[in-house]
């Protein structure tokens, strides 16, 4: 599978499957990791297409996909892409409990393909996601909606730059630009294997899948779950991308070791990194930190972190172990904005812009981005004034993030505009820089600054790591006092609440893409903060 035989366009992906005789998609069936060769995937895609064409599906048909990560999802998405349909990829968590027929009506779907449990009681325009034989169910397409632009091949969903779930149109040409740039900054090899570990409904995860087919290497598909560690060890990927939560596991494990082990390991790593040439350095670190490398499969050469700030302590642990972790930054509305790479990496930054001159900082500190060809021409179904707030008339996209450049052109994301806390005295506080200072203590797993609105003070909820002793709360309390010394009196943190709760998707404190849900944290802990409690047990 030589890299130079890469696809030329998204339309080439399905025919290319036949060329990739040694490649495969790996996926879970129960707890078993199954390998499906790409030519077998090609055959399943063609069978699905025949079934869809019999139902009247053709180029331009708007088809929804609603389900968890699975082989069937991948096969159907490729079948629709190859037919020239417009796919609408519905995130499972955000639309949980919404009837299938209602979603089809809301987004003008002519057909909705969904997991079997979502099809119960639905009409003829809803069919199950399956690669098995036809079940005899008759499919009748709904009336065609108003067509989208000729370059729009998909509609995806994001919390957007304002926090509300929005439907976003995606450009075919800009997606192809992105795939080309990915290889220029992160050189791929034919023996690579990429892990797709967040919902495929998230467009960035589909980009990772497309990269595997475009450049000719394996893909591993898994939902974020406790099975992730098993998949990493069995599939042994070389590339993965995801939120900081994917990587904090290693930091947590290292931090749980006694100090008499951590200290000499840090010292040994410094000696290796300062004295050995690159090749010998990689081998030595992989040997000394073999358990850390084994936890991620033992073959990692490119690990990408995005969607939320990567804490400095996490980056330091990965550098210590010789694991290649790089932070990047992007939004669904704009595509990838900036990224670090092995050739240009600055810890703490999100890297340099993907396209030179494509990023600038507005007078109020907001990051604005403009691609040569925008990834998205706009939202679907939003009022003009909402769309214009993000897709500005001058062609720039307002990200909703605050940022700055350093003197070498590396971009730093300071926080979200919508998360800025405005105190009753009118002071504005960006939570992220303060939270990152608290998270510099290895005992702190999460820190969420709260204030404004009904709260007459600024407070912070700190979730301690499982291995951290209760005494760590005193140390973090002193750290907060030190932070207060640098803040105006009206912006000081007056209340600190500690918890042993783990922030997860399952308990509602994280989103489906493993970001902290600040609103959920506020709802759960504001009462304890109001009462002046120190611990929430």
pLDDT in tens, 77-120: 999 999 999 999 999 878 888 999 999 999 999 999 999 888 88
Helix (H, G, I), strand (E, B) or coil at 127: strand
Is the per-residue pLDDT at 236 higher than 90?
Answer: yes
CA–CA separation, 448 and 176 (whole Å) = 37
Considering only residues 491 and 322, tell me which one the structure prediction assigns the higher pLDDT.
322
Q: Average pLDDT in the 131-158 region?
A: 84
Cross-strand pairs, 448? 461
Which residues, at least 6 apart from 425, have a Cβ–Cβ distance to it below 8 Å? 490
Q: In the 8-state DSSP scheme, what is residue 409?
A: S
* Spatial contact of 503 and 509, defined as CB atoms under 8 Å apart: yes
Cross-strand pairs, 141? none
**In Å, what is the CA distance from 398 to each residue of 123, 367, 455, 463?**
40, 7, 29, 32
DSSP string, 53-89: HHTT--TT-EEEEE--S-HHHHHHHHHHHHHT-EEEE
Residue 253: both structure tokens together? 């494990």
CA–CA separation, 44 and 38 (whole Å) = 10
pLDDT at 225: 74
Q: Say yes or no: do domains 3-171 and 420-536 share a fold.
A: no
- Tell me the three-class secondary structure of 492-523, residue by residue: CEEEEEEECCCCCCCCCCECCCCCECHHHHHH
Whether domain 3-171 has CATH 3.40.50.12780: yes
Is the per-residue pLDDT at 4 higher than 50?
Answer: no
Q: Is the C-alpha dihedral spanning 62, 63, 68, 73 positive or negative? A: negative
CA–CA separation, 255 and 465 (whole Å) = 9
Which residues, at least 6 apart from 38, have a Cβ–Cβ distance to it below 8 Å? 17, 18, 20, 21, 23, 24, 25, 213
Cross-strand pairs, 113? 65, 127
Q: What are phi and psi of 297, to 5 degrees?
A: 100, -15
For the chain, the first-to-last Cα distance in angstroms comes to: 55
Which residues, at least 6 apart from 484, have a Cβ–Cβ distance to it below 8 Å? 492, 493
Residue 503: both structure tokens together? 């922030």
Is the per-residue pLDDT at 423 higher than 80?
Answer: no
Is the per-residue pLDDT at 456 higher than 80?
Answer: no
Cross-strand pairs, 164? none
* Spatial contact of 193 and 211, defined as CB atoms under 8 Å apart: no
* Spatial contact of 167 and 379, defined as CB atoms under 8 Å apart: yes
Q: Average pLDDT in the 159-168 region?
A: 68
Which residues, at least 6 apart from 390, have a Cβ–Cβ distance to it below 8 Å? 160, 161, 162, 333, 379, 397, 398, 400
The burial class, CB within 10 Å (0-12 / 13-18 / 19+), for 130 is: middle
CA–CA separation, 528 and 496 (whole Å) = 10
Residue 130: both structure tokens together? 């399956």
**What b/e string do you get for 31-53 counting C-beta neighbours within 10 Å, with b at 16 or more?**
eebeebbbeebbebbebbbeebe
Architecture of domain 228-416: 3-Layer(aba) Sandwich (3.40)
CA–CA separation, 184 and 157 (whole Å) = 27
The pLDDT tens digits of the residues spanning 250-297 come to 888 888 888 889 999 999 999 999 999 999 999 999 999 999 999 999
**Half-sphere exposure of residue 398: CA atoms within 13 angstroms, side-chain side:** 20
The H or E element spanning position 367 is: strand 366-369
Q: Which of 87, 29, 86, 33 is nearest to 219 (CA)?
A: 33
Residue 219: both structure tokens together? 């893909």
pLDDT at 161: 41
Q: Average pLDDT in the 232-236 region?
A: 94
Cross-strand pairs, 401? 416
CA–CA separation, 326 and 336 (whole Å) = 14
Q: What are phi and psi of 356, to 5 degrees?
A: -55, 135
Residues counted in the chain: 537
pLDDT at 160: 45
Residue 3 banded pLDDT, cuts 50, 70, 90: very low
Average pLDDT, the chain: 89
**In Å, what is the CA distance from 39 to each residue of 42, 73, 168, 189, 267?**
5, 17, 32, 20, 49
| Block residue for tokens 């339309």 | 11
Q: Average pLDDT in the 455-471 region?
A: 88
pLDDT at 162: 46
* Spatial contact of 350 and 308, defined as CB atoms under 8 Å apart: no
Q: What is the dihedral of CA 433, 436, 441, 445, to 10 degrees?
A: 140
Residue 464: both structure tokens together? 């301690």
For the chain, which residues make up each domain, given as ranges?
Answer: 3-171, 228-416, 420-536
DSSP string, 159-189: -TTTSS-EEEEEEHHHHHHHHHHHHHHS---
Q: Which of 504, 529, 397, 382 is nearest to 450 (CA)?
A: 529
- Domain 420-536 fold is GMP Synthetase; Chain A, domain 3 (3.30.300)
pLDDT at 136: 61
Q: Average pLDDT in the 161-181 region?
A: 84
């Amino acid at each position: 599978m030589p890299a130079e035989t890469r696809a030329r366009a998204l339309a080439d992906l399905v025919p290319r499957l036949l060329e990739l005789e040694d490649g495969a998609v790996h996926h879970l069936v129960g707890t078993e990791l199954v390998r499906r060769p790409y030519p077998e995937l090609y055959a399943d895609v063609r069978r699905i297409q025949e079934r869809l064409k019999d139902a009247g599906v053709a180029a331009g048909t708007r088809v929804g996909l609603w389900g968890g990560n699975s082989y069937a999802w991948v096969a159907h998405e490729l079948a629709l892409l190859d037919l020239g349909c417009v796919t609408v990829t519905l995130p499972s968590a955000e639309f949980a409990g919404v009837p299938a027929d209602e979603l089809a009506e809301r987004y003008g779907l002519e057909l909705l393909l969904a997991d079997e449990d979502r099809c119960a009681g639905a009409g003829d325009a809803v069919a199950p996601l399956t690669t098995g034989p036809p079940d005899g169910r008759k499919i009748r397409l709904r009336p065609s909606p108003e067509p989208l632009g000729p370059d729009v091949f998909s509609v995806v969903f994001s919390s957007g730059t304002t926090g509300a779930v929005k439907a976003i149109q995606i450009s075919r040409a800009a997606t192809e630009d992105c795939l080309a740039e990915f290889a220029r900054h992160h050189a791929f090899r034919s023996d690579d294997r990429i892990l797709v570990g967040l919902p495929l409904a998230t467009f960035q995860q589909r980009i990772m899948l497309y990269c595997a087919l475009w450049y000719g290497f394996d893909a591993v598909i898994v939902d974020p779950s406790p099975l992730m560690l098993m998949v990493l060890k069995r599939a042994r990927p070389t590339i993965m991308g995801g939120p900081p939560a994917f990587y904090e596991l290693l930091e947590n494990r290292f931090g749980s070791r006694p100090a008499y082990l951590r200290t000499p390991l840090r010292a040994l790593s410094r000696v290796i990194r300062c004295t050995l040439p690159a090749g010998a350095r990689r081998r030595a670190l992989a040997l000394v930190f073999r358990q850390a490398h084994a936890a991620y499969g033992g073959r990692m050469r490119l690990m990408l972190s995005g969607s939320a700030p990567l804490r400095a302590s996490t980056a330091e642990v990965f550098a210590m172990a010789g694991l290649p972790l790089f932070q990047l930054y992007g939004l669904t509305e704009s595509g990838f904005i900036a990224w670090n790479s092995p050739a240009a990496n600055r810890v703490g930054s999100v890297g340099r812009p993907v396209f030179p001159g494509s990023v600038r900082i507005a007078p109020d500190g907001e990051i604005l981005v403009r691609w040569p060809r925008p990834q998205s021409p706009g939202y679907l179904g939003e009022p003009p004034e909402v769309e214009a707030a993000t897709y500005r008339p001058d062609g720039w996209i307002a990200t909703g993030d605050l940022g700055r450049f350093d003197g070498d052109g590396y971009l730093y994301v300071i926080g979200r505009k919508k998360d800025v806390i405005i105190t009753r005295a009118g002071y504005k506080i960006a939570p992220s820089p303060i939270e990152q200072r608290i998270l510099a203590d290895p005992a702190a797993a999460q820190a969420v600054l709260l204030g404004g609105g009904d709260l007459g003070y600024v407070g912070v909820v700190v979730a301690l790591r499982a291995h951290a002793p209760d005494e760590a709360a005193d140390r973090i309390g002193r750290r907060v006092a030190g932070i207060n010394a640098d803040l105006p009196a009206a912006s000081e943190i007056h209340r600190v609440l500690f918890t042993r709760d783990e922030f997860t998707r399952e308990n509602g404190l994280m989103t489906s893409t493993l970001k902290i849900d600040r609103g959920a944290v506020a709802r759960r802990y504001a009462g304890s903060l109001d009462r002046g409690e120190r611990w929430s047990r």
